Structure 1
Amino acid sequence: MLQEYLRRIGLLLVGLLVSAIGITLMLQANIGLEPWSVLQQGIAKTFGITYGTAASIVGAAVIAIAYFCGESFGLGTLANIFVCPIFIDILLYLNWIPLFERFSTGLAALLIGMELLALGTWMYMKSTLGSGPRDALMVVLARKTHRTVGLCRAAVEVVIVFIGWRLGGQVGIGTIVAAVGVGSLFNLNFGLLRFNPALLHQENLPETLQRFRGRKTIT
Structure 2
Amino acid sequence: MKKEILKYLKLFLGFFVCSLGIIIIIKSDLGFSPWDVLHQGISKVSKLTIGQASILVGSVVITLDFYLGERIGSGSILNIIFIGTFMDLILYLDIVPLSNGVFVGIFMMFLGIFILSVGCYLYISTGLGCGPRDALMVALTKKSKFQVGTIRNFIEISVLVAGYLMGGYAGVGTVITALFTGIFIQGVFKLFKFDVKSVIHRDIKSEAILLKEYIVNR
**TM-score, normalised to structure 1's length?**
0.78
Distance 1:142 1:128, change over 3 A: closer
Assess if the C-alpha contact under 8 Å between 2:138 and 2:197 holds in 1.
no
Distance 1:191 1:156, change over 3 A: closer
Match of residue 111 from structure 1: 110
CA distance in 1, matches of 2:186, 2:56: 28
Assess if the C-alpha contact under 8 Å between 1:56 and 1:81 holds in 2.
no
Assess if the C-alpha contact under 8 Å between 1:142 and 1:149 holds in 2.
yes
CA distance in 2, matches of 1:153, 1:25: 20
Q: Which amino acid aligns with 1:110?
A: M
CA distance in 2, matches of 1:184, 1:190: 10
Distance 1:159 1:193, change over 3 A: closer
Cα root mean square deviation, aligned: 3.1
- Match of 1:31, SS state, is coil
CA distance in 2, matches of 1:143, 1:111: 27
CA drift at 1:196: 1.9
Match of residue 186 from structure 2: 187
CA drift at 1:153: 5.0
CA distance in 1, matches of 2:99, 2:202: 39
Match of residue 131 from structure 1: 130
CA distance in 2, matches of 1:56, 1:118: 23
- Structure 1 position 122 matched with structure 2 position 121: yes
Q: Which amino acid aligns with 2:181?
A: V
Q: How does 1:62-141 map to 2 (within 5 A)?
A: 62-138=61-137
CA distance in 1, matches of 2:42, 2:93: 22
- Match of 1:214, SS state, is helix
CA distance in 2, matches of 1:42, 1:102: 27
CA distance in 2, matches of 1:185, 1:143: 19
CA distance in 2, matches of 1:57, 1:83: 18
Distance 1:202 1:143, change over 3 A: closer
Q: Which amino acid aligns with 2:186?
A: N
- Match of 2:61, SS state, is helix
CA drift at 1:54: 6.2
Q: Which amino acid aligns with 1:179?
A: A
CA distance in 2, matches of 1:14, 1:97: 18
CA distance in 1, matches of 2:50, 2:93: 17
Q: Deviations over 1:145-173 (max 9, x none)?
A: x7857676555434422443466654122
Match of residue 8 from structure 1: 7
CA distance in 2, matches of 1:139, 1:194: 16
CA distance in 2, matches of 1:89, 1:54: 19
Gaps of 5+ in 1: none
Match of residue 211 from structure 2: 212
Q: Deviations over 1:38-81 (max 9, x none)?
A: 3346668985566xx76555333311232245432111111122
Q: Deviations over 1:8-63 (max 9, x none)?
A: 1111001000000101111121112331233346668985566xx76555333311
Q: Which amino acid aligns with 2:98?
A: L
Gaps of 5+ in 2: none
- Structure 1 position 198 matched with structure 2 position 200: no
Distance 1:168 1:83, change over 3 A: farther
CA distance in 2, matches of 1:44, 1:12: 32
Percent of matched pairs sharing the same residue: 30
Q: Which amino acid aligns with 1:31?
A: L
